[in-house]
């Protein structure tokens, strides 16, 4: 029998979203440090990755499928080794050792194919209220020096329901 996650003392359900823009607005309101894509299956796409990229959030995922491919292309990401999918203690250690400042300092590649989810969001080049303005994002990007992470490093996480 599975345990209902709603019963946990450290779990907050934010409810369902209605379309791309609503998802982006809700995540912006939460103000996460990172987006953790914790799927242990090699996905063919991951909508959550699109939201994280649209909001220029650091992304943490396992080295599996499209989630890892897109994280590599995006750049502001940390890709965890596959073995951590079966090692909860190791995963916990990796996640708690994340250097948030270093992860946020990584450059974010936000050039995308128009066929991706959130394409209207990217075309309009507008972010939800509270997200950094385009000029601020460009200034931050110019000030950053390129930093790379490896699959042995860990990065920040965000859990959503």
Q: Give the pLDDT of residue 132.
A: 55
Contacts of 67 (CB under 8 A, 6+ apart): 37, 39, 42, 43, 46, 49, 61
Mean pLDDT across the chain: 76
Contacts of 69 (CB under 8 A, 6+ apart): none
**pLDDT value at 35 more than 80:** yes
Measured in degrees and rounded to the nearest 5, phi and psi for residue 153 equal -85, 160
- 8 vs 144, higher pLDDT: 8
* Measured distance CA(1)–CA(53) in Å, rounded: 35
- 141 vs 80, higher pLDDT: 80
* Measured distance CA(128)–CA(146) in Å, rounded: 27
Q: Kindly report, residue by residue over 57-71, the tens digit of the pLDDT.
A: 999 999 999 999 999
**pLDDT value at 111 more than 70:** yes
* Measured distance CA(35)–CA(49) in Å, rounded: 8
pLDDT band at 19 (very low <50, low <70, confident <90, very high): confident
Bridge partners of residue 78, in order along the sequence? 60
Q: Give the pLDDT of residue 2.
A: 52
**pLDDT value at 115 more than 90:** no
Q: Give the pLDDT of residue 16.
A: 86
Q: What percent of the chain has a predicted confidence (pLDDT) above 70?
A: 64
Contacts of 60 (CB under 8 A, 6+ apart): 34, 35, 36, 37, 77, 78, 79, 80, 95, 98, 103, 154, 155, 156, 157
**pLDDT value at 91 more than 70:** yes
Q: Give the pLDDT of residue 20.
A: 81
Q: Pick from 143, 152, 128, 158: which is nearest to 21 by CA? A: 128
pLDDT band at 43 (very low <50, low <70, confident <90, very high): confident
User: What token pair was written down for 105?
Assistant: 């300092």
């Amino acid at each position: 029998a599975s345990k209902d996650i709603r019963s946990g003392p450290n779990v907050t359900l934010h409810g369902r979203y209605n379309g791309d823009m609503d998802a982006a607005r809700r995540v912006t309101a939460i103000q996460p440090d990172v987006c953790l894509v914790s799927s242990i299956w090699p996905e063919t796409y991951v909508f959550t990755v699109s939201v994280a990229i649209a909001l220029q959030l650091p992304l943490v995922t396992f080295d599996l499928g499209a989630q890892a491919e897109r994280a590599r292309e995006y750049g502001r990401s940390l890709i965890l080794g596959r073995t951590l999918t079966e090692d909860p203690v190791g995963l916990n250690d990796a996640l708690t050792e994340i250097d948030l400042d270093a992860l946020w300092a990584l450059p974010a590649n936000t050039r995308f194919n128009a066929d991706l989810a959130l394409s209207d969001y990217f075309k309009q080049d507008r972010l939800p209220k509270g997200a950094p303005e385009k000029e601020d994002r460009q200034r931050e990007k110019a000030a950053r020096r390129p930093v790379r992470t490896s699959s042995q490093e860990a990065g920040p996480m965000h859990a959503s329901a």
